[in-house]
Structure 1
Amino acid sequence: MKGMTMMLERYGHGGDLWTAEEAFNRPKEQFLDYSSNMNPLGPPDVVKEILTASWQDIVKYPDPAVRELRLCLSRKYGIDPDSILVGNGAAELIDLIIRVVKPKRTGLARPSFSEYEEAVHKTGGQVTNIPLLPQHQFELQWQDVEAALPTADLFFLGHPNNPTGKLIPQSVLTNLLQSQRKLILDEAFMDFVPQESEHSQLKLASTSHDLIVIRSMTKFYSIPGIRLGFMVAHPDLIQQLRGQQVQWSVNYLAQRIGSKVLEDTTFEQSTREWLCVEKPWLIEQLTALGLEVAQSDVNFLLFSFPDSMGIQVKQAQQHMGHQGILIRDASLFEGLNERCCRVAIRLREDNERLLQALRNMISDLSRKRV
């Protein structure tokens, strides 16, 4: 059967509704997507207002310097606009910074977002692996980072990390910043972290010669189709990066939407209130099903099927897909095994549907084993 052999992450990511449509013979609009970590409260209402009111302005070229959005970001985070570079999503900025810095060997946590390694390999660089272990709740340990210091001239780390959802401990960050190695932090999910300002390294990056921070605006505001992200680094490096960036990288609508959603503090507060309630509830419910759930600092959860269930994630993905629910095969992240799965946290009604589908799957597959 066609759907039984097609890999949903054929392009390296979750959220591929087109491949899901082909695999499960179901219109893409009918899927409940847990494979993509978007804010279920979004997009904010202002996005619709901009698309309705500003569509005629697409006859104009966008601002090549992205001045309005950079100024809005500068005000929101209290940093120099000259330390900000806006890009066509975080993906463009990941590729751009590695092309410019050209590290010989990069320290990467395992598991972590695959695009870090892809960017390194495109420039001919090598990778040093740093393990994230379940016995430490996938939290980065300084002794493991320290072991990579002799070989790595740059470290590229998720903060919080994807797919584990864990922040880097402040002590590890402090030691790394004192190591005289360049450090790139991907803070794509930092907006979801309680006390974000206490954990984000944006302000430090704006004046540091060794620290670069990348942020996404697509996850928190649920606008992945717009493609929008930004990078913060010392102004000298930002100027160098801007010279290597593709012209007109950030389109007019993306610039307008980015500027306006930053003003929506009510949306921010509603998101944090929702997640504060829904995350512990969903962890409790998944644990009650017998699943091994890792603690998370953000809006998605990594869990594994215990050996006793005899369920592999690819089986689960197919079974759930035929029920109209997409989950992420986390075994595709280096460092995780064939029992690992990642799901987003969504609204209660959707989460209840997810839980019922998981109950059905566990029951059905258990019966088949008997």
Structure 2
Amino acid sequence: MLERYGHGGDLWTAAEAFGRPKEQFLDYSSNMNPLGPPEVVKQILIESWRDIVKYPDPAVRELRQKLSQKYEIDPESILVGNGAAELIDLIIRVLKPTTTGLARPSFSEYEEAVHKVEGGLISLPLFPQHQFELQWQDVEASLTALDILFLGHPNNPTGRILSSSIVSHLLGSGRKLVLDEAFMDFVQQEKEHSLLKLASTCQDLIVIRSMTKFYSIPGIRLGFVVAHPDLIAQLRYQQVQWSVNYLAQRIGAAVLEDESFEQSTREWLQIEKPWLMAELSRLGLDVVPSDVNFLLFAFPESSGKTVKQAQQYMGHQGILIRDASLFEGLNERYCRVAIRLREDNERLIQVLSNFMRDVYPIGEEGVLNE
């Protein structure tokens, strides 16, 4: 199984499974910006490598100040972490919820963090007939049993943002609301939909951001959380010292100033997303509308195809896709793919088309027959 460690983007496991070097794969299983990293990242790595003899700033002052200026929020409402994953775990450890409401399907690390503090879970279902948008009636019935709600905005793996009406309901629910905005940078009307500014002053709202996806720096590990300064102080007290290394701080502060990179990314996605959605639909796949840089789709039931078969077939062709059946609430027909550059996307469509036509024989377990 490619998702042996719970995520896409595991090139080491892919190399073992398909017998080719890591560098020879087109990775559609992790949702990184194909335009990145920005050029300034290379400059920092070249110019600053000697500075790793110094301790990083324990208060991450420069980066917090840059984030404060970019998003117009108080720096005391910002805590920077070693990627969004650290912050998810940190928030749950500090809040220690008895019962947490999670959308299904959603990012598995929310559930893992809750299990670590021995908290209970209530599933809030997302249905294909609603295009996987969360419905208020599916939340309302569970509210009295919940301490907090932990939701993706946009959600992973569905790629959908929360509607303004349900955000309004959630904010008035009297429960703590944690929103993971790891992919919000890719939303065309980001400022309209993000709740970062509100979270900086609201006692019951917490917003997590990742910087690794948009700037394509997952190896650096960088994210931040915005909340009321009182909660930020509690989170900072529980955070591991030196969580954010020197290079991560320097790179984070620099990429925030690269406005041309942001503009290029949004222009690329505005063209490439509808093209790829149309091509996947042309193959007869059921494509879920997406607000971000990845797409969830299902093989039609009549085709008899499964995502595990597709993952094996395409892996042998050098293309990695995400088995979305591993997300609770999705079945063996669901697959998630990133959106990449046109040349790569054309290769994806070509290999998927061959798979749909059964050009090569595939066994019952999805393994190619020699």
Q: TM-score, structure 2 length as denominator?
A: 0.97
CA-CA distance at 1:150 after TM superposition: 1.5
Counterparts in 2 of 1:152-167, with a 5 A limit?
Answer: 152-167=146-161
Match of 1:177 in 2: 171
Aligned equivalent of 2:292, options 293, 298, 304: 298
**What's 2:6 paired with?**
12
Cα distance in structure 1, aligned partners of 2:61 and 2:252: 12
- Mean CA deviation greater in 138-147 or 209-218: 138-147
Matched positions, count: 363
Residue 46 of structure 1 is matched in structure 2 by: 40
List alignment gaps of at least 5 residues for structure 1: 1-6
Aligned residue identity for 2:341: L
2:268 to 271, 274, 278: 274
Report the CA distance between 1:40 and its aligned residue: 0.2
Which residue of structure 2 lines up, in the alignment, with residue 363 of structure 1? 357
Paired letter, 1:101: L
**Residue 368 (structure 2) aligns with:** none
The equivalent of 1:132 in structure 2 is 126
Match of 2:193 in 1: 199
- Contact map agreement 1:34 1:326 (CA 8 A) in 2: yes
> Which residue does the alignment assign to 1:220?
214
CA contact (8 A) 2:180 2:207 kept: yes
User: Are 2:19 and 1:35 equivalent residues in the alignment?
Assistant: no
Contact 1:309-1:366 at 8 Å conserved across structures? no
Shift of 1:368: 6.4
User: What residue in structure 2 maps to residue 3 of structure 1?
Assistant: none
Q: Secondary structure in 1 aligned to 2:173?
A: coil
Over 3 Å counting, the alpha-carbon distance change for 1:368 and 1:208 in structure 2 is closer
- CA distance in 2 between counterparts of 1:147 and 1:20 reads 42
Q: CA deviation at 1:179?
A: 1.1
Counterpart of 2:312 in structure 1 is: 318
Report if the CA contact (8 A) 1:187-1:215 is conserved.
Answer: yes
Report the residue type matching 2:270 in the other structure: C
1:262 correspondence with 2:232 = no
Return the letter of the residue paired with 1:16. D
Moved more, 238-247 or 356-365: 356-365
* Structure 1 residue 216: Cα displacement: 0.1
Q: Percent identity?
A: 78
Aligned equivalents of 2:358, 2:173: Cα separation in 1: 52
Q: TM-score, normalised by structure 1?
A: 0.97
CA contact (8 A) 2:105 2:329 kept: yes
**Distance of 1:368 and 1:276 partners within structure 2:** 36
Q: What residue identity is the alignment partner of 1:77?
A: Y
Amino acid across the alignment from 2:132: F
Q: Output one character per residue of 1:129-187: Cα deviation in whole Å (capped at 9) or x when no partner.
A: 00000000001111111112021110000000000000001111111111110000000
1:187-220 Cα shifts (integer Å, max 9, x gaps): 0000000110000000000000000000000000
Q: Distance in 2 between matches of 1:365 and 1:131?
A: 37
Decide whether the 8 Å contact of 1:286 with 1:355 is kept in 2.
yes
Q: C-alpha distance in 1, partners of 2:270/2:358?
A: 33
CA distance in 2, matches of 1:301, 1:168: 16
Please give the alpha-carbon distance, in whole angstroms, between the structure 2 residues aligned to 1:366 and 1:145.
45
Q: Which amino acid aligns with 1:323?
A: Q
Which one of 115, 120, 135 corresponds to residue 121 of structure 1?
A: 115
Shift of 1:253: 0.2
The 2-side partners of 1:325 and 1:166 are apart by: 25
> Whole-Å Cα distance in 2 between the matches of residues 58 and 265 of structure 1?
27
Match of 1:330 among 296, 315, 324: 324
**C-alpha distance in 2 between matches for 1:148 and 1:34:** 36
Preserved contact between residue 309 and residue 362 of structure 2 (Cα < 8 Å)? no
CA deviation string 1:49-96 (max 9, x = no partner): 000000000000000000000000000000000000000000000000
SS of equivalent residue, structure 1 residue 364: coil
| CA distance in structure 1 between the aligned counterparts of 2:205 and 2:359, rounded to whole angstroms | 48
What is the Cα-based RMSD across aligned positions, in Å? 1.0
Distance 1:123 1:298 in 2: 31
Kept in 2: contact 1:17–1:28 (CA 8 A) = yes
Q: Can you give the 5+ residue segments of structure 2 that lack an aligned partner in the other structure?
A: 364-370
Q: Which residue of 2 aligns with 1:112?
A: 106
